[in-house]
Amino acid sequence: MLFSRSSLFSWISPLFLVTLLAIAEIGLVVSKPPIKIGQGYQLISVEESSDGGIVGLLQVKKKNNVYGPDIPYLQLYVKHETGNRLRVHITDAEQPRWEVPYDVIPRDKPAALKKPIFKSRKNQNSVLPLASSQYETGTNELIFSYKTDPFSFAVKRKSDGQTLFDSTSDDSDPYSNLVFKDQYLEISTKLPKDASLYGLGESTKPHGIKLYPNAPLTLFTTDVSAIYLNTDLYGSHPMYMDLRNVKGEAFAHSVLLLNSNGMDILYRGDSLTYKVIGGVFDFYFFSGPSPLEVVDQYTSFIGRPAPMPYWALGFHQCRWGYHNLSVVEDVVENYKKAKIPLDVIWNDDDHMDGHKDFTLNPVNYPRPKLLAFLDKIHAEGMKYIVINDPGIGVNESYGTYQRAMANDVFIKYEGKPFLAQVWPGAVYFPDFLNPKTTEWWIDEIRRFHELVPIDGLWTDMNEVSNFCNGLCTIPKGKQCPSGTGPGWECCLDCKNITKTKWDDPPYKINASGIQALPGYKTIATSSLHYNGVREYDAHSIYGLTEAIATHKGLQALEGKRPFILSRSTFVSSGHYAAHWTGDNKGTWEDLKYSISTILDFGLFGVPMVGSDICGFYPAPTEELCNRWIELGAFYPFSRDHANFYSPRQELYQWDTVAESARNALGMRYKLLPYFYTLNYEAHISGAPIARPVFFSFPTHTEFYDLSTQFLLGSSVMVSPVLEANKTDVTVLFPPGSWYSLFDLTQVIVSKETHSVTLDAPLHVINVHVYQNAIIPMQQGGLISKQARMTPFSLIVAFPSGAAEAQAKGKLFLDDDELPEMKLGGSSSSYIEFYATVSNATVKVWSDVQEGKFALDNGWTIEKVSVLGLDAVHISSLGIEVEGETNSDASQVELSQTQHNFITKMDDETDELRTGMMVEVKGLKLPLGKQFTMSWKMGA
């Protein structure tokens, strides 16, 4: 039996687990709908809308009852919202339908038809007041065109004429024209066979980041462990990026279907079909054309990623099973003894009184001792985070429950709070669509913070997860739960709910990999939220709405920048929270899968993401844990987390793992300025912190399916060992010069893309810096607060042996407790670094914006390492600060080291193998002032 804190399938027999996993891996689907459903719709009128878009009326061509009756009339609305974003919205023309609430994801409402009399237009010929069958505006990059009978539409990019989306269905196509029923919507698009697609999650994709044809893609937030492949998991992100290489040029665009209902998506390689069980078609197209521009455009719409506090980029330690406070104290002390960096200590539900939210166990976590412990670690700069589940224990003596009942905040079934079971036993679920719920939740966070001064919240089980099925009551005459056996076994008295079309819809998505009914192990989908909203429609936005309320609650405490880690996510969750990839296994396969999931969430606008290091369960091998911390040290969110039933796996438990941790985390803590600047770039432009290699090398198709390496920012490449018993790793290097971050004298140089096998002993991970980059670093430390106050250094990477070259980098610093992350005033500084080599002269300089914050903190640059120079003699060193000659230049030390070329490529000439590293030490350059440093070179 596999033991998981929250796995949906933990209670199922091992044989069924094996069968289910096999189904998920090979993509079997037991039954699917007929391929062709109906004849589509006819566009019978179209005109300009009041807001500058177009609005049209569609009429069904021939009704049928497959999955229910067709909706007879639809409204089409199309609008260029920005120069690179196009919206296409299709809904019932006569009745309002569920949409993702406009106050949850803010956006404009579509313009409406001018009150058409539908019957009078029946069987009319097309009435087309527009001059042509396409819609475009002067500066918009996207063109919308349509056909009237049967209706279809296409979206093209104006600058290159590429068709990005085409819903036409020909007789030879294996999919229908537009289908729009109450509980079944279908639309498809043709695709070039060589298009590379990414996204459409959350799921664990065994083949890597690139989508494979015919792999199951089901979106419906579900408590299913991440170990299950090709299965709908905790989040729903109906967004994909399409990357194409046309005659050696790269073009990317993105498509979002903003719909929270459950859906299957069938990708055939040359087409993609959406099969959705409710809501509307609300498409957003983002023109790109580069991958970074796509994410910029996407996050400008859904909400920029939340700014993270500096300490959140440090290392985190958690475990389900820290039975009392003394264990937590020992963990913190042992990290210090082992000299392994640690910023944040976490509690799973061990700190709670009977697993109840916002409570403290008075025996195992006595408040006076806990407060003393927190005073101690807070003084050192460490932080403390606890878990919080949405299920509120049904307990008359429980204050949180009493106040919730008084405010009437729970999701209802037939007028009563819907009863479920999670860790406390019987629970009700808060309805975060109700404004009163947010007020109550904020107050509960405030009350708990007064009890325990936490530094963030971890919102788990918020898909939501329910250990029971159907309509339940609390059993009489027996304890539930009993306190013995697995806590996830349902002990309520329950009966199935299948009497409504919401509980048993006509079309069955491939939920949980077994076509489970949508209320399986969650809230009954006929339950009601505020204002009569059905759980059927709102299910997948639960985690998002909880994150919004939690963000408000944390920010209201002391006006500080919140930190939230959420398991369930939806479109725009990254605007409020970080994410981890859920219940993984301590296996080599799961180590590899973690990279793809992390890269996916960068596309989804959730850049602060990581995976449970060493695996959540069962016990990892010592070798695996070595390799996992080497990789996990470079996750954006870096946390070790283990299961209650697993042996202890803190990084100091093995001497070898401790050594690997000191090496890898030691480098992470030196790179914290770089990580934090990437955090800032993510916040202002959506740029992922961890990103696929093709983001920086989009014209190289070799990287389109690369999922065993990744970039941090644009210029640092991480290449981990992902297999057992390996002491080397084969790395695919893009053309150019790549310098080892752990030994700057080592360099890989090539004119073409090359695979190189590099040494990777047990304690080594290969991390390389690319040419033309400047990387800001500090000296590191055991806590980010300490590391942050050490002197800075710069790595300046030129192409090896180049006589003419340039490099650039940037650095953002701020008061990370402020809720906003922005430039301006005295609470932040932004520095751009530049370097050139030309005419045998090296020049390095800075351009400072808002330098006061850096000056107030006393930060200085003490060392500059310049890589790739082609001469050995240095003369005429000059240093100026704010235009004045630096009198301390006489104290500066210069050293030169020959680069070590790791291997010789077939295309490599001798001139590529001439390179020196020059280090300038002893500097005291104020980071908040502009400086210039230069010297002459000679043979």
Position 482 scores a pLDDT of 82
Residue 920 has pLDDT above 50, yes or no: yes
Residue 801 has pLDDT above 70, yes or no: yes
Position 905 scores a pLDDT of 56
440 CB-near residues (< 8 Å, 6+ apart): 403, 404, 407, 409, 430
In this structure, the strands spanning 237-246 and 249-257 are antiparallel
What is the band of 610 on the pLDDT scale with cuts at 50, 70, 90?
very high
- Mind telling me the catalytic residues? 460, 463, 583
For 46-55, what is the mean pLDDT?
94
For 232-237, what is the mean pLDDT?
98
Position 133 scores a pLDDT of 81
Give 505-557 pLDDT, tens digit per residue.
999 999 999 999 999 999 999 999 999 999 999 999 999 999 999 999 999 99
In this structure, the strands spanning 609-610 and 392-393 are unpaired
* Cis amide leading into 464 (omega within 30): yes
Residue 127 has pLDDT above 60, yes or no: no
Question: Can you list the positions of beta strands (E) in 624-666?
Answer: 638-640
* Cis amide leading into 289 (omega within 30): yes
pLDDT, mean over the chain = 93
For 207-228, what is the mean pLDDT?
96
Position 904 scores a pLDDT of 60
What is the band of 132 on the pLDDT scale with cuts at 50, 70, 90?
low
Q: DSSP code of 839?
A: T
Position 871 scores a pLDDT of 75
Position 31 scores a pLDDT of 44
Residue 742 has pLDDT above 60, yes or no: yes
- Contact assessment for residue 220 and residue 236, using Cβ atoms and an 8 Å cutoff: yes
Position 488 scores a pLDDT of 86
List, in sequence order, every residue forming a beta bridge with 609; answer none if it has no partner. Answer: 579
Pick from 437, 433, 429: nearest CA to 407:
437
Residue 103 has pLDDT above 80, yes or no: yes
For 653-657, what is the mean pLDDT?
98
For 604-609, what is the mean pLDDT?
98
**DSSP assignment string, 44-102:** EEEEE-TTSSEEEEEEESS---TTSPBPSEEEEEEEEEETTEEEEEEEESSS----S-T
HSE toward the beta carbon, residue 724, CA cutoff 13 A? 10
Distance CA 523, CA 468 (A): 9
Distance CA 25, CA 53 (A): 44
Task: List the strands of the sheet with 392-393, edge to edge.
Answer: 392-393, 425-428, 420-422
Reduce the DSSP state of residue 889 to 3 states and report it.
helix
Pick from 586, 576, 637: nearest CA to 611:
637
**DSSP assignment string, 220-279:** ------TTSBTS--S-BEEEEEEEEEETTEEEEEEEEE---S-EEEEE-SSEEEEEESSS
Position 779 scores a pLDDT of 98
Residue 17 has pLDDT above 60, yes or no: no
For 320-349, what is the mean pLDDT?
98
For 14-30, what is the mean pLDDT?
37
Q: CA separation (Å) from 651 to 384, 640, 794, 888?
A: 18, 8, 30, 43
- Contact assessment for residue 915 and residue 801, using Cβ atoms and an 8 Å cutoff: yes
Position 358 scores a pLDDT of 98
Task: List the strands of the sheet with 142-148, edge to edge.
Answer: 134-135, 142-148, 151-157, 163-166
Q: Which two tokens stand for residue 750?
A: 């090539």
Largest CA distance in the chain: 92
Position 134 scores a pLDDT of 82
Lowest mean pLDDT among 330-344, 577-591, 903-917: 903-917
What is the band of 907 on the pLDDT scale with cuts at 50, 70, 90?
low
Position 902 scores a pLDDT of 85
For 423-446, what is the mean pLDDT?
98
List, in sequence order, every residue forming a beta bridge with 393; answer none if it has no partner. Answer: 427
- To the nearest whole percent, how much of the chain has pLDDT over 90? 87
Lowest mean pLDDT among 385-389, 691-695, 801-805: 801-805
Inter-helix orientation angle 291-302/588-603, to 10°: 70
CA angle 649, 209, 773 (to 5 degrees): 85
For 203-224, what is the mean pLDDT?
96
List, in sequence order, every residue forming a beta bridge with 937; answer none if it has no partner. Answer: 874
Position 825 scores a pLDDT of 84
Give 150-185 pLDDT, tens digit per residue.
999 999 999 999 999 999 999 899 999 999 999 999
Residues across the chain: 939
- Contact assessment for residue 51 and residue 111, using Cβ atoms and an 8 Å cutoff: yes
What is the band of 909 on the pLDDT scale with cuts at 50, 70, 90?
low
Tell me the one-letter amino acid at 829: S
For 272-281, what is the mean pLDDT?
98
For 798-825, what is the mean pLDDT?
95
